[in-house]
Structures are given as C-alpha cells and as structure tokens.
Chains A and B, each alone.
Chain A
Amino acid sequence: MFDLLPNQLPWFVAGPALGLLVVALFGLANQPLGASGAYVQTAGWLRRRSGIATWRVWYFVGMFLGGLLVTQVLRDDSPVRSGYDALRDAFPLWFVIPLVFTGSVLLGYGAGLAGGCTSGHGLCGTAQRSPASLAVTATFMTTAIVTTFVLGLVTGGAL
C-alpha cells in the first residue's frame, strides 16, 4: 500500500531486532518465542482441548497479522501469487505441490520430535545456551545444507 520498507531489510537491522524481541519476551513473561509450539497449541485450541496456552494461539494469529502488515501495508508486495519462485522455475506446479507438502510434513514431524524448530531451538534455545538446542540446531543446519546440495545435484543445477 505505502511502500515504506525496502525489498529486504539488511541483516544487521532485522537480526538484532529479532534478538531484542527474544529478550523482551523472556524479560516480560519468561517465555521462549517458539513457533512450532504455537502450531501445537492452536491445533489443540481448534479441537477444544483443555489446558491450552491461549497466549500461544494469539501469538500464532499475530505472526500472520505481522506478515500482513509488512507485506501488504508497509511494502508493496503483489497481493496474490504462487510463491516459491526458484522452485516454480525448476518444476511444474503438479510436482511442486506434493514436494512442498512432503517437505512440510517432514519438518513438522521433525520439529515435534525435536521439541522445537528454527525459532524454539535455533534462536531461543541457542540464546539460552541449551546443549540440546545447540545439538538440534547443528543437526538441522547440517542436514538442510546436505539436502540442498543433493537437490542441486539431482536437478542438474536447476536448484
């Protein structure tokens, strides 16, 4: 709408801002900023389970709204598109959909098993100097880099 923000904030602005947000949530509520936990709590809330941390459901909604604010109000992103530019250039849509779905199920299952994802372990866990989170982060970084390398080989450099 307004196009106030650059296409991509420099890392030295976005990264420290995220670091301060992590500190703020710990300092105010003694809580980590984990996104996969928000999914679990939101799924439980939708099924009307008891003992739900409702603030994590609000947090889930907030992430969507924050994205909406930046991409649709403060910056001029196109309103509707498929996303996945490089992947869509390399493959037809009928292949991209099951690929993205399979990857998403796998990362969801993995996050559940590890007890957190890039935010819960990668950011907040490492910031707390938790050995388990450091181990999870080192592991997912390694398998992600290897998987990306293999994808590049399999697609003959298209990815």
Chain B
Amino acid sequence: MKLNVLGLISGIAFGGILAGARLHEYDTIHSTLSFEDPYVFLFMGSAVAISAPLLWWLERRGTETPLGGTLALSRAKPEPHHLKGGALFGIGWAVAGTCPAPALVMLSSGALLALVAIPGIFIGLGLRERQAMRDLERSVLGQKTTNPKTPAR
C-alpha cells in the first residue's frame, strides 16, 4: 500500500521532471544525438553525477530503507544479451526519438503520435517476453540449454 503511494508519487515526479526538461519532444532527443545541443547528455550525466556518490555512501553506511530492507545495489556482469539489447534499443531510440518514460509524457503533452509510440513499445517488450518464455520452455524440456533472461526493470 505504502509502496503503491510511493510508486505513484515517484512516477509523478519523474514524469514532471521529464516534461520540464522537454525530453518527450523528438527535437530534444534528436538534437542531442546529432551533437547540435548537448542537453540530454548533460541532463543524464548530471543526474548520475549526483546519484552515484550518494548511493555509494548510502550503501556503505548500511542504510535500512523503510519499505525495502537494507539498501543493496545490484552489480551485474555484462552478458551478450545486454549488448544485443542495448544495440537494438539505441537504434529504436534514435528512430522513434523517444523511450519508455518520455513516451508517456508525450501522450500527456497532447502529442498524438504517442498513440503510435506507446503501443509499439508494449508490442516490442511483449515480443521479447514471449521469446524468453519459449527459450525457458525449451531449456526446461532439455532440448536446448539457454539461460532465462532477467526481466526488464
């Protein structure tokens, strides 16, 4: 219950910040990726520059979170599916000029092409999920051993 309220509030804050930064606009993403304006690089870079040291410090002091136990950061090793997925994601990001969170803000900003982008993202994620299920079934049946991939977060 408390986690749901926190989810709603952090969603509103995240959507609000993205809208304030105009990350839901194709032009913002495109002008950064074409090196005309470094805005998105600076936006993401400064966010990580603030959060990385704070998270490091919070983990080191063994912070007990009110809703999720002891703070534990995840440090996964890179695997082939990370690189393949990242490569495809980057191509789609550049073509569609949006990514999952900004696409929702695009819709609330009144930009109707978000009604094309959002279903597309759902379909893409769904295709991957179905493929992962089939891989899992196959590995359970022992015909082929493939590791089930970690779900999207």
Residues of A within 8 A of B (CB): 5, 7-9, 11-40, 43, 54-72, 75, 77-87, 96-97, 99-145, 147-149, 151-152, 159
Contact = CB atoms under 8 A, between A and B. Distances in A.
Nearest to A130: B75
Nearest to A145: B33
Contacts of A138: 86
12 contacts: A16-B46, A22-B55, A30-B67, A67-B19, A105-B127, A111-B125, A115-B150, A125-B74, A127-B52, A129-B56, A144-B93, A147-B95
A107 B99 contact: yes
B121 A39 contact: yes
A55 B3 contact: yes
A106 B88 contact: yes
B95 A151 contact: yes
Given A63-B104, A87-B97, A110-B89, A15 B8 contact: no
A103 B120 contact: yes
B140 interface: no
A71 B104 CA distance: 12
Interface in B70-101: 70-79, 81-101
A148 B94 CA distance: 6
A71 B98 CA distance: 17
A111 B85 contact: yes
A77 to B, nearest CB: 5
Label chain A's interface by main secondary structure.
Answer: helix
List 5 A-B pairs, minimum CB-CB distance, nearest first: A62-B11, A108-B124, A83-B111, A66-B15, A104-B120
* Interface hub of B63, B93, B119 (most chain A Cβ within 10 A): B93
B113 A30 contact: no
B113 A55 contact: no
A71 B92 contact: no
B16 to A, nearest CB: 4
B64 to A, nearest CB: 9
Given A23-B51, A105-B92, A110-B92, A62 B8 contact: yes
Given A18-B43, A67-B104, A144-B90, A108 B120 contact: yes
A19 to B, nearest CB: 3
Contacts of B104: 35, 60, 63-64, 67
Contacts of A68: 15, 108
Contact of B4 (A54, A109, A117, A137): A54
A107 B88 contact: yes
A110 B30 CA distance: 19
B46 A30 contact: no
Nearest to A104: B120
B71 A20 contact: no
A71 B110 contact: yes
Given A27-B65, A65-B108, A32 B153 contact: yes
